[in-house]
Chains A and B, each alone.
Chain A
Amino acid sequence: MSKPDLREATSAHEPLLPIEKKLIGWSLGTGLALLALLVVVNHFVPLN
């Protein structure tokens, strides 16, 4: 097992795989939608 090399870590030029794009897109999309939903619910069920 090799030791990690930070120069190698940033010079590997690994392109974003479709699954990574999916992970980023789905996470952000789901997150923003859920957050909007929670803001609406928060409006109707305020914290006491």
Chain B
Amino acid sequence: MSEATLPLQAAAPPRFSEDLVAVGLGLLVFLLALVSLAGADALGWLVTTSVWSNPAIALAPVSKTYASLGGAGSLLLTYLVLTAVLSAAAYLLGDDVKRFATAFTAVFVIAYASWFIGSWAYLAAVTPADQAKFGISRSLKLTNEGGYIVALLVGLVIANAFPEFAERLKSAVRPELYIKIAIVILGAFIAVTMASKLTLASSLMLRGLAAIVEAYLIYWPIVYLIARKGFGFSREWAAPLASGVSICGVAAAIATGGAIRARPQVPILVSSLVVVFAVIEVLILPFIAQTFMSHEPLVAAAWMGLAVKTDGAALAAGGITQSLIQAKAAAEGVVYQPGWMLTVTATVKVFIDVFIGVWAFILAYIWTNHINPRAGAQKARLGEIWERFPKFILGFVATFLITLALALGTTVGSGQLNAAIGEANVLRVIFFLLTFFSIGVMSNFRQLWQEGFAKLAAVYLVSLFGFVVWVGFVISWLFFAGVKPPLVS
């Protein structure tokens, strides 16, 4: 068993590696999404949850084609299909299928209930317009991605207060499998985002390159050095931590953990820190931007993309910043065209995202060949690098390239492609959700804190608020100062 594979109560030896199963499932979702380009809506029955104040209308199928199913019907169908497909995956991984299906039922119910609660308007509504729409005067402004935090917290409560129940869930607590499937699907989502902003993306190419340089070549080595020399962390912890703080949070930490063959709990614990700090950033940075950068809107927008970790949190921060700065500018008689600030945030973030695979490849090469070569071997063989290379990254690259080729090289309409990949993205969100719940269930927080979890948080705090946020601001200023969004004529 490779070190990247979770410990399971295996009923039989694994028939396939977890990476291959994850790539297979991710590609299956991707292909089903593409089927809709031929006119058949294969994923439209998946359930989605809107931000709600009336729970009766919160759930719905993602496509209107399946509206007759209703929210409850699409939720039930989503559960049944996921249980069947993931039980087949459990069989391929050598797990006890019956035990997996039973545990997965509880995992899905609790995780999706957490997502539902996280979408409550009092927790999720972000802008004053949203609050007015739901008839509320205040909210925690977590966006509906706050559901990830709820799932994580519920998982933590189960792990710490109900350890026997956590033990029963164990066979379906598979954060690595879930996140790898999600990352394969994410490749397609990033491609459509890039293709839809191609004109702007090409004009922002230079600034995107600066974001890549900053995240991978400046932040990463400094955080790694601080973790290793300043706090004495081992390589296994320092590398995922550096990626989590520097690049784009959860996906980067997991990809790095896979690349260096860290034990699965390591990037998972780093990921939980990333999420907590990203939420804190979303709640603080847009208001700082409004106070000090309202006359440099694109600097503020780029800063959100560079400083806020995780895609969802960065885009949420970009959206809030846009609302706050537009409101302040309008009060001064300056009315900017909407959308430009959020587009800059998204473009910067996407540029950083697309290099995760390349960076993971570089780290995998260095770790396999130089830091952790097999005993008795002077240098790892090329075949060994392939054997230890995290294959799910190839799935990510494949869905990204195929989608980009479809968007740019064919006559497929961008709206049609966006809708198809948007449906696959619903499953990406569900797999992220399952990951966060699983992270919670696997983490005995009290014990972790006693064992030195505070030190991990200290590295994150020192790095993020010590220089990541401020260097991000300086670089955003260097490249975007003086550039304003067009005005409404």
Q: Which residues of A does B touch, CB under 8 Å?
A: 1-14, 16-17, 19-20, 23-25, 27-28, 30-32, 34-35, 38-39, 41-42, 45-48
Chief secondary structure at chain B's binding surface: helix
Given A2-B263, A19-B366, A35-B214, A10:B371 Cβ within 8 A: no
Q: Which A residues lie within 8 Å of B56 (CB)?
A: none
* Residue in chain B with minimal CB distance to A8: B234
Given A6-B453, A31-B214, A47-B203, A24:B225 Cβ within 8 A: yes
Please name 8 further chain A to chain B contacts, defined as beta carbons within 8 Å, in addition to the given A8-B234, A9-B452, sorted by A numbering: A4-B266, A16-B228, A24-B224, A24-B225, A34-B213, A35-B210, A35-B214, A39-B479
Q: Which B residues lie within 8 Å of A41 (CB)?
A: 206
Q: Which B residues lie within 8 Å of A3 (CB)?
A: 263, 265
Given A2-B263, A4-B263, A9-B452, A20:B235 Cβ within 8 A: yes
Chief secondary structure at chain A's binding surface: helix
When the two chains form their complex, are residues B213 and A28 in contact, meaning their CB atoms are under 8 A apart?
no
Q: Which A residues lie within 8 Å of B210 (CB)?
A: 35, 38, 42
* Residue in chain B with minimal CB distance to A2: B263
Q: Which A residues lie within 8 Å of B235 (CB)?
A: 14, 20
| B441, chain A: closest CB distance, angstroms | 14
When the two chains form their complex, are residues B218 and A28 in contact, meaning their CB atoms are under 8 A apart?
yes
When the two chains form their complex, are residues A34 and B455 in contact, meaning their CB atoms are under 8 A apart?
no
When the two chains form their complex, are residues A27 and B453 in contact, meaning their CB atoms are under 8 A apart?
no
Q: Which A residues lie within 8 Å of B456 (CB)?
A: 6
B195-249 residues with Cβ-Cβ distance < 8 A to A are 203-204, 206-207, 209-210, 213-214, 216-218, 220-222, 224-225, 228-229, 231-237
17 contacts between A and B (CB under 8 A): A4-B269, A6-B452, A6-B453, A7-B452, A10-B232, A11-B232, A12-B234, A14-B235, A17-B370, A19-B371, A20-B228, A34-B217, A35-B475, A38-B210, A39-B479, A47-B203, A47-B206
Instruction: Tell me if B167 counts as interface (CB < 8 A to partner A).
Output: no
Q: Which B residues lie within 8 Å of A5 (CB)?
A: 451
When the two chains form their complex, are residues A14 and B265 in contact, meaning their CB atoms are under 8 A apart?
no
Of B206, B218, B266, B451, the residue contacting A7 (CB under 8 A) is B451
Q: Mark B324-345, 1 if CB is under 8 A from A, else 0.
A: 0000000000000000000000
Cα–Cα, bound, A32→B475 (Å):
12
When the two chains form their complex, are residues A6 and B451 in contact, meaning their CB atoms are under 8 A apart?
yes
* Residue in chain A with minimal CB distance to B237: A9
Of B234, B451, B453, B478, the residue contacting A39 (CB under 8 A) is B478
When the two chains form their complex, are residues B265 and A4 in contact, meaning their CB atoms are under 8 A apart?
yes
| B257, chain A: closest CB distance, angstroms | 10
When the two chains form their complex, are residues A38 and B451 in contact, meaning their CB atoms are under 8 A apart?
no
B146-163 residues with Cβ-Cβ distance < 8 A to A are none
When the two chains form their complex, are residues B483 and A47 in contact, meaning their CB atoms are under 8 A apart?
yes
Instruction: Tell me if B480 counts as interface (CB < 8 A to partner A).
Output: yes
When the two chains form their complex, are residues A31 and B217 in contact, meaning their CB atoms are under 8 A apart?
yes
Q: Which A residues lie within 8 Å of B164 (CB)?
A: none
Cα–Cα, bound, A7→B370 (Å):
25
B79-129 residues with Cβ-Cβ distance < 8 A to A are none
Given A28-B217, A41-B206, A10:B479 Cβ within 8 A: no
Cα–Cα, bound, A42→B217 (Å):
19
When the two chains form their complex, are residues A1 and B232 in contact, meaning their CB atoms are under 8 A apart?
no
When the two chains form their complex, are residues B448 and A6 in contact, meaning their CB atoms are under 8 A apart?
yes
| A35, chain B: closest CB distance, angstroms | 5
Of A1, A7, A8, the residue contacting B3 (CB under 8 A) is A1
Q: Which B residues lie within 8 Å of A8 (CB)?
A: 234
Q: Which B residues lie within 8 Å of A11 (CB)?
A: 232
Cα–Cα, bound, A7→B455 (Å):
9
Instruction: Tell me if B7 counts as interface (CB < 8 A to partner A).
Output: yes
Given A6-B453, A7-B451, A45-B206, A28:B475 Cβ within 8 A: no
* Residue in chain A with minimal CB distance to B367: A19
* Residue in chain B with minimal CB distance to A41: B206
Instruction: Tell me if B1 counts as interface (CB < 8 A to partner A).
Output: yes
Cα–Cα, bound, A42→B477 (Å):
12
Given A1-B3, A35-B213, A47-B479, A28:B221 Cβ within 8 A: yes
Cα–Cα, bound, A19→B371 (Å):
8
